[in-house]
A and B are shown apart, each in its own frame.
Chain A
Amino acid sequence: MTEAEVRATGVDIEGLMTVLGDHLYSTPTVALRELVQNAHDSCVRRRLEDPAPFVPRITVLADPQAHTLAIEDTGAGLTRDEIIRYLATIGAGYTRKLRETSADPSLIGLFGLGFLSAFVVSERTSLFTTSYQSPTEGWHYQSRNGERYTLDPCAARPVGTRVVLTLKERFHALADPDALRPILARYCALLPLPVYLGDERVNDAPPPWREPDPHPVRHHRSCLAFAARFERRFEPICTVPVVATPGSDAQGLLWIQDGLTYGTSDNRNLSVFVRGMLLDDDARELLPSWAGFVGGVLESAALTPTASREDLQRDEAFRAVQRALVDSLVKGLAEIARQSPEAWRRVLSRHNEALLGAALCDDRLFTLLADELTLPTSEGDLPVRTVLDRSDRKVHVTLARRGGFEEMLFRALQVPIAAGTRYGVVPMAQRYCDRHGGTVVQLGTSDGDRQIFRRAELDAPSRAFLARELLRPGQELVPARFAPAEVPLVVVPDRDAELKHRIESDAADKRIAAGALSLARLYTGSLDARAAAHLYVNLDSPAIRALLAAQGRDVTAAVKLLRALGALMTGAGEGAGRVDLLTTLAEYGDTICTLLRTA
């Protein structure tokens, strides 16, 4: 048997550069960020290694005529050996080495891939550098695509590095200072070292949580101004601070957007800075899913970037920050409610439905919002407490877009019916009733019917009389009492009976497979449902009382009118309980004619 061969894996540098260059980064502006970050780390390195004083500074110079972009720093610079070992070796950044020997938390680089981003946007990349270790030497690195490079000595420059990108044609816009300024301002907003675009400093205002203004009104204004700089789509209504806690080092600012939302609108946006550099400007998943109306900026050293440095790893630190943000938002909203009534009213009016959803996801928010939010009802938008007060401690909810008989009953009573088809209404009503007392009555269900129609006793002869005069085939007479007393009777289909009938009919054998049908029949077999519809006769109604008093006399006309009214009250609902409306209306017309003839 021959021994296995040990061979090194071949690397296709050209292919690798294409993959990294074209696919590692999502947007060409990331190159700018990566090179500014390298410049930053170089300044940190010089501070750590070189005892001589220096002024750290990063300058970006854009030349739209020459289509060049230069990033210059006063950092440590590179020796010839360092250029070869670190700059020109993929995955071998000096920062990583430095991090192993220094505990300095401000170093940003991690993977040794950042310089590659230069080749994404440039057709030629030049680097001029002089190291603090050999201040009389200068080195000029140049490469077209990162695969091959030239390295020549050149005249020494002041200690530091200047990278010059000659931009590919499709990225010429990056050399436009007006386009560059807002991008640079976002990327570097939290970087403590000064960053300039030409002579103009782009990161001079520290974020409000780092140096809070002692005057509360001025602090409030500076928070709003900071939020407005980051929020691209909406004005911020108010802000919420994020402070570090024992479990999370995240600090920053959240804000409530001034844009109308619906229940599940998702306008979340969150910019995350790690060690001062913008890492992810779409880290919405750190915010709770119910916070579709919240924007924010956050900084944390605990969050770990992915290799592209554009996303965050979903690790325990990520989950800890998630929890901290939920806490900050909940506490912050409570604070706004307490301290800023005007802003709070705007928050409620803009985000009522989104907040309904939020309150259902977090008990603390429920406590805060339960009496502030409104439900859409047939009588307008009302808080649950008002609905309960107007409905004898009940919240009537309909899941139908058009109401059945209930709509007519409740309109007559001016009792609100909540639109259960709208986002969050049913669970909100249910939880409110669970907490504060009350009952949710879901209209159009057997339970709902039992809540509306209180069954009543009636002697057997009267029951038989009403059944004989009023019942149609398939109906069951139910003496009951219900409001309003002006309504004498209502026909309501029995939903259980309808289901039982459909599942147990022979036709079901043809459309449902045997095994599934036998399971379904296990359930319907347990249902005690005999009649297709219930005729609820209102014993509180003067008309019914008069009818009962008229037993033994000719009640034909009265019965026809009552039956017609019952049919109209039933409406055009589906199912076996539906009555023939045309026949009923004809009977109604005949009765009017008869009454007029005998008048």
Chain B
Amino acid sequence: MSLLWDWVFAARRDLRKQGHARLADILGLLPETVCDDEHTRADALAAEGVALATELDLPWIQVYLRHWQLQSRVFHRMEGESALKACVDLVDFAHRTETQGCPQAVCAVQDLAGCYGFVDGPGFAAERLAVAEEALARIDPSWGCFACISGEKAGALRSSAGPAAALAFLDAQTATMTLAGKRYPAQDMPDERLEALIELGRLPEALAFLDEGDRHGHQDAHHERLRRIDRARVLARARRLDEAARSLPGIDEVEATPLFFVPYADALDLLIRGGQLENTPEVGATLTHFVERLRAQGVLRHALELAELAGRLALARGATDDAELHLATMRDLARRLRKPLGALERIAGLAAEIAGELQR
């Protein structure tokens, strides 16, 4: 148990004693619905809970509920620019005199850093790194957010210094958490480790890590689905394409959670290139939907990279017009990035391929 959850349990018990059973229920239900990727329900619960907490003048509970709604909006639904105002608002609210002691207050900073990470991860890497280091200096592994903020720092490191640096940092944090008595601490910050292992081509380790996750990692619907998608990506890279195709969830399991879009598109691309999936117009429509959703949410760099992937696949199936639309999307997104950092080269690459195709 951590400081945070000790407090949440105590708060729920006190609320029940005081006759506020509904708010006590919401405190328990909101994280559950978020972790199960039921985001519409999460929104509905959060609005109601924040209103009740405001009415009862319980600022700590407001911080908790608003953070969990942002957890849904940012870390599951992958909102970027569209969530910035709410994130800044919560950072402000969580650092007032009446909220500063709230164990969830630190997480408001993580929400903001994560949100900028989705707007343009590499572009804001230095700022994200500074924020994560600052937050880690205030806490130790007994805090629930120690793992989340470590994951955030690993993400910033991967954006700036590369996957090996991210992995080395995660190993150090895992060791610290193990010494503090945590079991399977690596599974508390799984995303960045897996991405780093994939980028480094350490596929057997990635698979072993996913196996460990199935046994000892988070067992909620979100993590379970993400592991199936990631397993498909790793297996496809290892040329175990049959197994990869079997592991990949259906699109209906992905739609509600834009955080899955990028890894899911990666898996689709690998399976198409491996001949396991057909490069159909339906695949094109799915990818276009992914790009547009992320663009609308201000997730600039990921949307740009997805547009590039969608453009290449469109070219491969002879849909040059679609490829040109994706190129235009990339140009629009590149203008909005904080720093180009390779975006212009990607645009030039796709433009050249389209030009080559048109000449043929």
Residues of A within 8 A of B (CB): 262-264, 289-290, 356-357, 360-361, 399-401, 420-427, 496, 499, 502-503, 508, 511-516, 518-520, 522-524
Contact = CB atoms under 8 A, between A and B. Distances in A.
17 contacts: A263-B48, A264-B29, A289-B33, A400-B51, A401-B51, A422-B48, A426-B44, A427-B40, A499-B88, A511-B95, A512-B95, A513-B138, A519-B113, A519-B124, A520-B88, A520-B112, A523-B87
A516 B88 CA distance: 9
A289 B41 contact: yes
Contact of B88 (A399, A424, A503): A503
B25 interface: yes
Given A263-B48, A523-B85, 6 more contacts: A262-B22, A425-B44, A511-B96, A516-B109, A516-B134, A519-B112
Interface stretch (B125-133, B158-166, B314-322): B125-133
Nearest to A511: B95
Contacts of B127: 515, 518-519, 522
Contact of A523 (B54, B84, B130): B84
Contacts of A502: 92
A516 B90 CA distance: 12
Contact of A511 (B48, B51, B100): B100
A421 B48 contact: yes
Nearest to A358: B41
B47 interface: yes
Contacts of A262: 22
Contacts of B171: none
B131 to A, nearest CB: 4
Nearest 3 CB-CB pairs, A to B? A421-B51, A515-B130, A515-B131
Interface of B: 22, 25-26, 29, 33, 36, 38, 40-41, 43-45, 47-48, 50-52, 54-55, 84-85, 87-89, 91-92, 95-97, 100, 109, 112-113, 116, 124, 127-128, 130-131, 133-135, 138
Nearest to A422: B48
A426 to B, nearest CB: 6
Contacts of B25: 264
A423 B109 contact: no
A401 B55 contact: yes
Question: Does more than half of chain B's interface fall in helix, strand or loop, or is it mixed?
Answer: helix
A158 B325 CA distance: 83
Nearest to A360: B40
Contacts of A524: 88
Contacts of B92: 499, 502-503, 508, 512, 520
A423 B100 contact: no
Contacts of B135: 513, 516
B41 A513 contact: no
B217 to A, nearest CB: 14
B41 A357 contact: yes
A427 B113 contact: no
Contacts of B43: 426-427
B63 to A, nearest CB: 14
Contacts of B97: 511
Contact of B45 (A356, A423, A520, A522): A423
B44 A514 contact: no
B33, B40, B96 — which one has the most chain A CB atoms within 10 A of its CB?
B40
B88 A401 contact: no
Contacts of B85: 496, 499, 523
Contacts of B47: 399, 420-421, 425-426
A512 B128 CA distance: 15
A421, A427, A515 — which one has the most chain B CB atoms within 10 A of its CB?
A515
A399 B96 CA distance: 22
Contacts of B41: 264, 289-290, 357, 360-361, 424
B36 A519 contact: no
Contacts of A424: 40-41, 44
Given A357-B44, A361-B40, A516-B134, A399 B95 contact: no
A508 to B, nearest CB: 8
Contacts of A425: 44, 47
Contacts of A496: 85
A290, A361, A423 — which one has the most chain B CB atoms within 10 A of its CB?
A423
A402 to B, nearest CB: 9
B336 to A, nearest CB: 12
Nearest to B110: A516
Contacts of B112: 516, 519-520
A517 to B, nearest CB: 8
B50 to A, nearest CB: 8
Contacts of B48: 263, 421-423
Nearest to A397: B47
Nearest to A421: B51
A518 B25 CA distance: 36
A34 to B, nearest CB: 28
A263 B44 CA distance: 9
Given A289-B36, A499-B85, A519 B54 contact: no
A262, A426, A513, A516 — which one has the most chain B CB atoms within 10 A of its CB?
A516
A413 to B, nearest CB: 24
A166 B29 CA distance: 45
Contact of B91 (A290, A420, A512): A512
Contacts of A289: 33, 36, 38, 41
A514 B36 CA distance: 34
B54 A401 contact: yes
Nearest to B129: A515
B183 to A, nearest CB: 21
Nearest to A398: B51
A355 to B, nearest CB: 12
Contacts of A511: 95-97, 100
A516 B36 CA distance: 29
